[in-house]
Amino acid sequence: MSQIYANVFQTGYNLLQTIYPVLGISEIGTKGTSSLQNTLALNTLPWPRKEIIEFSKDQAVVADGSSNLLSTTELSTSQTEKLVTIQESTPGIFVLQNSQLSVTVEGGCITSLHDRKANQEVLSGKANKFVIFKDQPIYWQAWDVEVYHLETRQELHATSTSISEDKPYRVSVVTETKISELSSIRSTITLSAAFEGQQSYVECSAEIEWHETMKFLKVEFPVDVRNTEASYETQFGIIKRPTHYNTS
């Protein structure tokens, strides 16, 4: 087994020796340098991006560009002062805010997503809401989804919510939700500093310990937006589906 690991390591090292010169990096494994000058970020998506990348607890850069390689500029604490804030307005209710969005979180759910530029509420209900349905199809489990499963909807309720990150450029709240004695959810809602000319967004992630049978776990994001179809990104590409039942 050790020989296999050694071969894999050597293959990876050889690959880096080929890639790094293309990216303008002259030496692999350089130690003792904390400068972020000439650092590039890899854009794996087919659209322009401008995002904050964290290198360490107190060091971050802004990656910006429209190509595969994005230029970076160092982000210091003085530059990011008051760009994004978080506060517990009342016990159990948290408000995350940057120059574009104001996000209210209660019980692990986003109860309000206010577009400050347009002065408009985006949601029509609670977002990041976890719900469970029974999975009892007529024929094949995990393959067939019958429409009557929607009648078995049960909401999950958070056990605790707290501030997990309060940095000048990013803030987060984390929520623990118990599904059963064996299953649980740890969800995180994050808001980063906004950039002029680029729409800000809320990041929702979850770590799930799942040991249930014949059940669906879904998360809801009801938005106050009218459209005939919605786009969903999957590992196989982006698919579009109608937002109504009448598809004839």
Residues 63-107 pLDDT 10s: 898 888 888 888 765 554 678 999 999 999 999 999 999 999 999
Mean pLDDT, rounded, for 29-46: 66
174 pLDDT more than 80:
yes
Q: What is the pLDDT of residue 184?
A: 97
The structure tokens listed for 149 are: 């499963």
Q: Report how far residue 243's alpha carbon sits from residue 245's, in angstroms, rounded to the nearest whole number.
A: 7
DSSP class of residue 38? T
Supply the mean pLDDT for the chain.
85
Give residue for tokens 């303008």.
Answer: 24
pLDDT tens string 126-153: 999 999 999 888 888 778 888 888 899 9
111 pLDDT more than 70:
yes
Q: What is the pLDDT of residue 146?
A: 86
Q: What is the pLDDT of residue 233?
A: 84
The structure tokens listed for 7 are: 């071969």
162 pLDDT more than 70:
yes
31 pLDDT more than 80:
no
Q: What is the pLDDT of residue 82?
A: 75
92, 163 Cβ separation under 8 angstroms: no
Q: What is the pLDDT of residue 30?
A: 46
Does the CA dihedral 28-34-40-46 come out positive or negative?
A: positive
209 pLDDT more than 60:
yes
Give residue for tokens 């729409």.
Answer: 199
Tell me the domain boundaries of the chain. 1-30, 34-75, 84-242
DSSP string, 117-168: TTTEE-BSS-BSEEEEEE---SS-TTT---GGGGGG-EE--EEEEEEEEE-S
